[in-house]
Amino acid sequence: MKTTLTVTGMACAACVAACERAIRKLEGVQNVAVNLTTGKVAVEYDELKASVSQIAEAISNAGYQVVDDGTTEKKTAKKQAAENTIRKQKEIQTLKIKFIVAAVFAVPLLYFAMAPMLPFYLPLPQGMDMMREPKTYALVQLLLCLPVVGVGYLFYTRGFVSLFRLHPNMDSLVAVGTSAAFLYSLFSLVNIRNGNPEYVHHLYFESTAIIIALILLGRFLETRSKGKTGQAIEKLIHLSPPTAILLRDGQEVEIAADDVQVGDIIVVKQGQSLPVDGIVRYGTSSVDESMLTGESLPVDKTIGDLVFAATINKNGLIHFEATKIGTDTALSKIISLVEEAQSSKAPIARLADKIAGIFVPVVMVIALAAALLWLLGGQEFSFALNIFVTVLIISCPCALGLATPTAIIVATGKAAEYGILFKSAGALEQLQAVKCVVLDKTGTITEGKPHLTDLLPTKTTTADELLLAAASAEKGSNHPLSLAITEAAKEKGLDLLPLQDYLTLPGLGIKTKINDNIILIGNKELMMKNNISLENELQQAEALAQEGKTPMYVAKEAQLLGIIAVADVIKADSRQAIARLNQTGVETIMLTGDNAQTAQAIAISSGIQEVIAQVLPDQKADRIKGLQKDGKRVAMVGDGINDAPALTQADVGIAIGSGTDVAIEAADVVLMQSSLMHVTFAMQVSHLTIRNIKQNLFWAFGYNVIGIPIAAGILYVFGGPLLNPMIAAAAMALSSVSVVTNALRLNGIKLQ
């Protein structure tokens, strides 16, 4: 059983680790992934041993709040998105107000604290002279600091609660650091009041206030940036219209789209979006499906065709019957797939998780040890306190927790805009390591249905005469080869002749009568049996067969009219996609059940490097295993249905061209378009995303590796400056914002 909960109160990677630990302790929990960026907690569990309420209770006991456990109602994607948007906007607005309040009091406090220490004169209000009026000076600083501490109260409530529960987090670092500075300042204030004015030099109220103000600013900028990471998926969510026009008793009635029921007849006029999935019952039109598939060209629709929610009726009027509504629509399933991927955890994130689990306690030990060493080295308590506070503040693991999920959310959302759906963050990571791509032939490299490719009339016949005779004869059959010939005649505008007789000759071809003339279409044996001479045509037919085509002789009475050839043609962009894979050092292999001659011809024409032909569907997985045993990281590209075993066996299974009936169970990546170019784009997205994550992790780790020693005073030992806690707070806020901003660069990925 799987469930996804929305949780608030998590501030950093340590929070993620603590939340995951609390859930994993429950009996029956099989897997858990906590996403700091989205606040989503995805849990897989045995419903006989655990329940959603128990999971929610474990999260609450860990110190975090469950705001949506998914059990109150089955919400549509649009409802869920609306609630999430409201919650995000409220959080952003609250942080903005808190920062403004903190800044209003912290800035003058900083001015009062720093003015007497500057080498140049800055005026102070009357009675605020540090040396003449130390009591007033200290009291005013306290009064200015208290409102800032008040707006930052959550740092203390959450931080100390987490500390007492023995899983400290970023809030704990802020709470301990600023509390130490604030309490020592109070101690100094009491001493000043008791007649010891020299303690006026030991006030750190401004450090407490500025640190809180800067962290609130960082949180505000970070939260606002995080809100942009899910914009791609929100665009999809809001594409479907809020209302639908129903046809009832011949009258048009407008209702809310959420109230549409299966079986309702819906009217969609030119320019309108479709509210649900269905089947066209009246009218013809072209529909823009780019929001689902990424395909820019409209798709023609007529009676009996499927249509999908959020697509746009470009011209004409159609009536369609609703077949899938609410969470069952293709759009909802796509959104669910993307959200599931965004909530999952990439293997690359495990290192960050392990470090985050012990990071904060280690930092606290380092801070305390550094302060004690400076005290033992002869420094004053205020100096050691400065070291203690600075180490705690600069070591916030926020950037560590944001490094992976922000990049994954942006990348999977961007890929979804082009109709590329990653089912998990693991698939996104693994795809960039693939060096061998195995491709099914039919429907993957080729169109998946036969097309007329060649007309070779004899000297006494024209191409149109040859095609007219063949198409008129084949119109009596529903065989794919026959349909390809008749379709070609229709495209040329030929009026087919009426059939007088039709006879199928197994293993040979067909025999028909048109205008009292016998028409024969078939192989060499059929021609020989009817004493029809084949001279140069034999060589022509052999050449066509070597190209992977199916040649057929066409004769009228005893006279040969020519050769007609049909083949499953290579898709327009397959050659380009395969060439791009080859250029990037990826090995390309065709795995097909077709005969070796046809497969080899397609491979040569498309640029495939290796062919494995005449393989049954249940043998394809074994062939994939063989490649993996050779040490190859394999991606299998197929239609997702016949190739399901091979897709599952591969390191990354890619279902291509499945339209909206995606092979969700078998594939790791689902492509909504039948284009191999989307395979190369998926690999490009994977490469860029993992590179982005590595950049983020390098920055997050590097920031702490450099920052902690500097905060501990390593530069001061060699005559350099001592890091101010306020500078540390600014650097900490900058680290989180920079990680999110770097991830947002992935929005610039474009399909080429």
Question: How confident is the model over 606-656, as pLDDT tens digits?
Answer: 999 999 988 877 788 889 999 999 999 999 998 755 677 888 889 998 988
Q: What is the C-alpha end-to-end distance of the chain, expressed in Å?
A: 40
Q: How far apart are CA 390 and CA 380, in angstroms?
A: 16
- Return the closest-CA partner of residue 329 out of 745, 662, 51: 662
Q: DSSP character for 197?
A: G
Three-state DSSP state, 138: helix
pTM score over 0.85 = no
Predicted pLDDT at 73:
47
Q: How far apart are CA 516 and CA 1, in angstroms?
A: 69
Predicted pLDDT at 296:
61
Cβ count near 318 (within 10 Å) = 25
Predicted pLDDT at 70:
62
Return the amino acid letter for 261: Q
Is residue 667 within 8 A of residue 703, CB to CB? The reply is: no
* Structure tokens belonging to residue 309: 């929610």
Low-confidence ranges of the chain (pLDDT < 70): 69-82, 117-121, 226-233, 235-236, 293-297, 342-345, 350-353, 356-357, 396-397, 640-642, 657-666, 752
Is residue 711 within 8 A of residue 391, CB to CB? The reply is: yes
Choice among 68, 171, 440, 651 that is catalytic: 440
Is residue 616 within 8 A of residue 623, CB to CB? The reply is: no
Catalytic, 440? Answer yes
Angular region, 343: left φ>0, alpha ψ -120 to 50, beta rest: alpha
Residue 562: phi, psi to the nearest 5?
Answer: 150, -170
Q: How far apart are CA 445 and CA 601, in angstroms?
A: 12
Q: How far apart are CA 389 and CA 286, in angstroms?
A: 65
- Return the closest-CA partner of residue 562 out of 468, 451, 450: 468
Strands, E assignment, 609-737: 610-612, 634-638, 652-656, 669-671
